[in-house]
Structure 1
Amino acid sequence: MLINAKLPFDLNHLSQKDQTLSLAGMNWADYEKLDSQEYLGYRVSYFNGVITLVSPSQNHEVIAEVINYLIVAYCRQTNLLYYPMRSTRLVNKPLAAKEPDVSFSFGARKSIPDLAIEVIFSSGSIDDLKKYKSIGVAEVWFWQDNQITFYQLANDGYTEIANSIFLPNLAARDLESFVNRGFSESPLTIESDFINFIK
């Protein structure tokens, strides 16, 4: 396969650090050769001739899962219809492709999620917004350095917003205080406190 010589990543470091491999000078045909069944556990993206593979660390997955739990809790509490899409491969052939950490559509099942979430631990960057803009995701959240930032897609790109457009009255600053508890607490406790907060 295209990159077998460079895989697998160093599993000894996966609890703390993401393992990332970027391949420049690639094209869409190279990207399509990456079979997700063959590279289970890796998140694969493509943009501007670069294929990036990420094997998320344990901490990365903890934060992503807590965010997922809290979004579901919010939807249940507010009776908002939600459709989880998790890390579905999103594509705008032949320009961009991305697999978010968490994603949802709301109100109805859609081919492109309304909301995508990226956890930036030791991989990824705000440059991922360029990929999401090309794909057309309306709202993107980034967790990085214990902070969550919400972005809304406009005609000229993404602008930072304080409150989610799809989860009304949910502020980034409020959400992050619950998400960051995921390093030391069970999601069950965090979810219970979060529900009491949004009531």
Structure 2
Amino acid sequence: MATTISVVKPISQMHFAPGSVVTISNVTWQEFETILQELGQKRTSRVAYYQGTLEIMVPLPEHEIPRDFISDIVKTLLRAKGVRYQPFGSTTFKNHGAAGVEPDACFYIQNYQTMIGRRRLEPGDPPPDLAIESDVTSKTTIEAYESVGVPEVWIYNSGKLTIYLLQAKKYTKSETSPTFPQIPITELIPQLVERNWQVGSLQALEEFEETLPNLKF
């Protein structure tokens, strides 16, 4: 009679290829917290957790360029608009016991003063006002953001930008961003990212900065 042997291997010792997405079901909150500790802070993978489902995503190299560039565009627009902000990178945001998510980039805008000087999140800290994801279409990720309560999420995928706004604790898609209500963000970002691929990040950003006087804020 065959014998089945269970092999338990720490997540931190597993190697995931770039571009891979691993989904694990029936993960308890305590297990999720343990996995986060195992993975550590210095890693390329991103995680999303919602009500027992854990996803571990390893971005492709080409994922990094749009992510960083879109983040630079947001900073440029906020400065041009005269709005202060505090970026918070890929911090793990949690709704304890229910959800956890790590954006590619995020910004505190309304609550930026609260987060100045923060080296880590503290109990009672608000979620970021704007989160950015590149090449993510996961339902688990969207549900995690809903649970955490991020008001605005941008997802750039396959040359298209989708804006999600939190209304009555559920996301609805929007063609406009309340952060930049008079700017056609869903048209502008894909155009700028494509230009980035053509001439590089620095030149694309310089060209964009030259157009700022023509934008209506």
Structure 2 unaligned residues grouped into runs of 5+ = 1-8, 116-124
Task: Give 1 or 2 for the bigger CA radius of gyration.
Answer: 2
- 2:11 and 2:146 mapped to 1: Cα distance? 28
Residue 37 and residue 23 in structure 1: after superposition, are their counterparts in 2 closer, same or farther (change >3 A)?
Answer: same
Q: In the alignment, which residue of structure 2 is the partner of 1:187?
A: 201
User: Is 1:32 equivalent to 2:40 in the alignment?
Assistant: no
Q: Deviations over 1:119-161 (max 9, x none)?
A: 11xx542552211110000001111110001111101511222
Give, as a single letter, the amino acid of the residue that structure 2 aligns with 1:183.
W
Q: Which residue of 1 aligns with 2:134?
A: 119
Structure 1 126/63 Cα, relative in aligned 2: closer, same or farther at 3 Å? farther
Give the conservation status (yes or no) of the 8 Å contact 1:63–1:180: no
Letter in 1 for 2:128: P
TM-score of the two chains, using structure 2 as the length reference: 0.80
2:59 is matched with which residue?
56
* Amino acid across the alignment from 2:204: I
TM-score (norm 1): 0.87
2:164 alignment counterpart = 151
Match of 2:16 among 9, 12, 28: 9
**Match of residue 188 from structure 2:** 174
| Pairing 1:90-109 to 2, within 5 Å after superposition | 90-109=93-112
In structure 1, C-alpha distance between the alignment counterparts of 2:42 and 2:32, rounded to whole Å: 12
CA displacement at 1:45 relative to structure 2: 1.5
Aligned-pair distance for 1:33?
0.4
- Flag the structure with more relative contact order, 1 or 2, with Cα contacts below 8 A and sequence separation at least 6: 1
- Distance in 2 of aligned mates of 1:137 and 1:190: 29
Whole-Å separation in 1 of the counterparts to 2:141 and 2:41: 24
- Following superposition, the deviation at residue 96 of structure 1 comes to 0.5
Aligned-partner SS, 1:181: helix
Q: Is the 8 A contact 2:55 2:140 kept in 1?
A: no
Quote the residue 2:24 is aligned against.
Answer: 23
Seq. identity, %: 25
Distance 2:189 2:47 in 1: 27
Query: Does residue 142 in structure 1 map to residue 158 in structure 2?
Result: no
Alpha-carbon shift at residue 107 of structure 1 (Å): 3.9
Once the two structures are TM-superposed, the CA of residue 108 in structure 1 deviates from its matched residue by 3.3
User: In structure 1, what is the Cα distance between the partners aligned to 2:83 and 2:189?
Assistant: 17
Name the structure where strand makes up a greater proportion of residues.
1
* SS of alignment partner, residue 73 of structure 1: helix
Greater CA drift, 186-195 or 50-59: 186-195
